[in-house]
Amino acid sequence: MAQFNWRMPRWFHQMGSPKWFYNFGGLLQPWFTLAAFLLLTCGMVWGLAFAPADYQQGNSFRIMYVHVPAAILSQSVFLSMAIAGAIGLIWKMKIAFMVARSCIAIGATFTLIALVTGAIWGKPTWGAYWVWDARLTSTLVLLFLYAGVMALNQAISERQIAGKATAILAIVGTINIPIIKYSVEWWNTLHQSSSFSLTDKPTMPSEMYLPLLLTVLGSYFLFGLVVLTRTRAQILQTQNGASWLMQHKDISGAK
C-alpha cells in the first residue's frame, strides 16, 4: 500500500501552540477591531441613512443591513465551529477546541439576531411575524443546535472531554447547514431566494448592494475579533502559571 505521506504546512502546527496563537492573535486583534469598526460603521450608516428606498418595500427593507449579515454569519460560524472541532479531533489540538468553544455564543447571537430581525421584517412585508417556512424553520433548528452545543459544552467540566464532545455534536449538526442554504431552492418558500452573493452579479443596484457587502465583511471581522479575544482569554485561563506566560509582556507589565 502506498505510504500516505503528506504534511500540513508548518504554520498550521504552530497554530496549535498556545504561546504562538496568543502572540499571533494579539497581533491580529487591533487590525480586526479597526476593520470591523470601519466596515460596520460605514456599511450601517450608508445602508440605513443614504441608500435609496426600495420601490416596493419603502424603508422597511433597510433592516436587511442587519438581517442578511447576521443570517450569513449564523451559518458560517456553525461551519467554522465544526471545522475547528474536526481539526481538534484529527490533529489533537487544544487550541482548535478553544476556537470551537469561542464560536458557540457569537454564533447563537447571530442566529437570534437573524430570527428577530427577520420577524420584524416579516410583519410589514408578509403580514406575519412568523411562518413555518423551510428557511425559517431550519434557522430555528440551527438556534436549537447552538443551544444543544452550548449545553453540552457547559455540562462537562473536564475541558478536554467537553471540547471533543462538542466537536462531535457540531460535526453532526453541520448536516443542517446545506438544508438552510438550499431550503429556498428545494422548497417553495415564502422567504425569497438569495439575492446576495460574492461571485454572481448583484440583483440590486450598487447603492443598495455595496453597503450590504460592507456590513457582511464587517460582521466577518467582528466574528474573527470575538473568536480571537475569547480564545486568547481561554489560553490565559488554561495556561495560568506557564513560564512563557508569566514572562509575557502582557502579564509582567514590562515595556
Which residues sit at the interface with another protein, rule CB under 8 A?
89, 137, 141, 144-145, 147-148, 151-152, 155-156, 161, 164-165, 168-169, 171-173, 175-176, 179
> Is residue 54 classed as helix, strand or coil in its secondary structure?
strand
**Residue 166 or 219 with smaller CB distance to another protein:** 166
**Residue 85 or 224 with smaller CB distance to another protein:** 85
Length of the chain as a residue count: 255
**Residue 32 or 110 with smaller CB distance to another protein:** 110
Half-sphere exposure of 112 (CA within 13 A, CB side): 8
> Is residue 58 classed as helix, strand or coil in its secondary structure?
strand
Rounded to a whole number of angstroms, the minimum distance from the CB of residue 234 to another protein is 19
Half-sphere exposure of 97 (CA within 13 A, CB side): 22
**Residue 20 or 91 with smaller CB distance to another protein:** 91
Residue 1's CB is within 10 A of a number of other CB atoms, namely: 3
**Residue 164 or 191 with smaller CB distance to another protein:** 164
Rounded to a whole number of angstroms, the minimum distance from the CB of residue 155 to another protein is 5
Sign of CA dihedral 118, 121, 124, 125: negative
Rounded to a whole number of angstroms, the minimum distance from the CB of residue 164 to another protein is 5
Rounded to a whole number of angstroms, the minimum distance from the CB of residue 143 to another protein is 9
DSSP code at position 191 = S
**Residue 151 or 246 with smaller CB distance to another protein:** 151
Rounded to a whole number of angstroms, the minimum distance from the CB of residue 79 to another protein is 16
Name the helix (H) or strand (E) containing 194: none
Rounded to a whole number of angstroms, the minimum distance from the CB of residue 85 to another protein is 12
CA distances from 175 to 68, 110, 139, 180, 186 (A): 21, 19, 13, 9, 15
* Cβ atoms of residues 114 and 74 within 8 Å: yes
C-alpha cell read off for 1: 500500500
